Amino acid sequence: DKAKDLATAVWSAESKILHPSVCEKALRKRDFVLGKNTCATYYHPQYSKCELDVGAPLVSSFMLIALLLHKDKCGAKDKPASFVNVAYHSRWIRDICHKDTSWIDI
């Protein structure tokens, strides 16, 4: 039953945004670029692998902050994950969305 599968697939977790120096030390340079990325703890307690979580949202007070880019040691609690910083890329996101929906009068 697809509804049952979806119900078990949707989840939330508490994350903590980490200081960039922690991220630079813990993540490889290709996985964390200061400014372009945000770093936070990321742990899915029901599942020890997170390969399919890429693109998962990091949300605070109903605002999209970032999207999951990379996580080492998926099942490890309190290990940092690299997220794409939405604010940094917002102009590019708007340009792409506008290009694909330019026929809509906003």
Q: Residue 26 is part of a domain; what is its CATH number?
A: 2.40.10.10
**Distances from the Cα of 7 to the Cα of 3, 10, 83, angstroms:** 6, 6, 25
What would the pLDDT profile of 4-31 be if each residue is shown by its tens digit? 565 566 567 778 888 988 888 888 776 7
pLDDT digits (tens, 9 = 90+) for 47-60: 556 667 788 899 98
Query: Domain range holding 53?
Result: 12-100
Tell me the residue ranges of DSSP E strands in 23-79.
Answer: 37-41, 57-60, 63-71
Q: Residue 4 falls within a domain, yes or no?
A: no
User: Is the pLDDT at 33 greater than 90, yes or no?
Assistant: no
Could you tell me if residue 7 is inside a domain? no
Give the mean model confidence (pLDDT) for residues 64-78. Answer: 79
What is the reported pLDDT for 87?
A: 92
Say if residues 63 and 52 touch (Cβ distance below 8 Å): no
For the chain, the domain total comes to: 1
Looking at the predicted structure, is the pLDDT value of residue 89 above 60?
A: yes
Q: What percent of the chain has pLDDT over 70?
A: 71
